[in-house]
Structure 1
Amino acid sequence: MTGIYNAMRNTAHRGAPLFSVLYGQMLTLKLAFVTLAVGALAMVAVLMLAAVLGHTSPLSS
């Protein structure tokens, strides 16, 4: 996030020139990878919770 902040500050807060230079394109690619990684971690957490719940017996009252 600091890279995006610094790039926006250096380009006078205009987003269009940022995506036309290689630095901006690399930041966009990095952001996409981070988003995918966070989504993958969330999916693993959901699958682990489902596995734990699937192997426990329901509580009886």
Structure 2
Amino acid sequence: MAKLSPIESKFGSTEEAEAYDVWFRAKVQRALDSKEPGIPHDEVMAEMRALIESHRRNAADLAT
């Protein structure tokens, strides 16, 4: 098992990196093959902006 440098990879070994790659590619392929309707870009962006703002408010509350 080859060890990877934390500077080069977040994985501890090439086997871990390869396993993640296989999992990730399968997940992407399932999404591409899905027959479910997509979510409009503007809707996703609005949700993400709200989530980011919520996290900012929580962080500001914790800082006070």
Q: What TM-score, normalized to structure 1? A: 0.41
TM-score of the aligned structures, taking structure 2 as reference length: 0.39
Larger Rg: 1
Larger relative contact order, structure 1 or 2 (CA cutoff 8 Å, min sep 6): 1
